[in-house]
Structure 1
Amino acid sequence: SLSSSIVSTCLKMTIVPVSKKSTVSCLNDYHPVSLRPIVMKCFERLVMRHIKTQLPPSLDPMQFVYHPNRSTDGAISTTLHLALTHLDNKDSYVRMLFIDFSSAFIRIIP
């Protein structure tokens, strides 16, 4: 229940390993697929909608997550615009660090 912050076992997510290749030679040839009940997916959406309404309007304007109509495309174009605007100045340079977390947690460690 919400008041006790406990999720019933039947509503919890199940993770199933699915092979990436036709022949599996090691554990990293699998990728995890999470299976969640429909009821839990709907509940998560309701909770997320509530959380979004509670966020203060003073969030950093450079934050693109949890904002309506914002995406990674907007983050990339804003970053590119800021970098190119800065490079218009004489003797200036820009350093950027890009980190891809898309596969950071897709590991099966024995």
Structure 2
Amino acid sequence: MRKSLLIISLLAGIVYACNQQDQTAPHLLSTGKLPTQVFSIDITKDTTLHTKNGALIRIPHGALSSGTNPVQLEIKEAYSMQEILKAGLTTMSNGQALSTS
């Protein structure tokens, strides 16, 4: 009797836990964990940005529009597997996760 009560309680706990939305994961896996770089750019001129991790980003004049000039551009980079996982990033195509062999 006692064993069956324990099993029923355990199963009820599992069912309850599965029906609850996980509020922890969005806070643990977030792009907010990545360092931010902010660049001020003049949108009327061709601009090349060089990020801390070595990315070169070319922005031709007229590619961006804004009511103000210069504009602030915020960049977050995730190149290592650790950074990608920590930020909760995925690569998707047509709604399906991309994978490589």
TM-score by length of 1: 0.25
State the structure with more CA Rg: 2
Q: Which has the higher strand share?
A: 2
Q: Which has the higher helix share?
A: 1
TM-score by length of 2: 0.27
Highest relative contact order (Cα 8 Å, sep 6+), 1 or 2?
A: 2
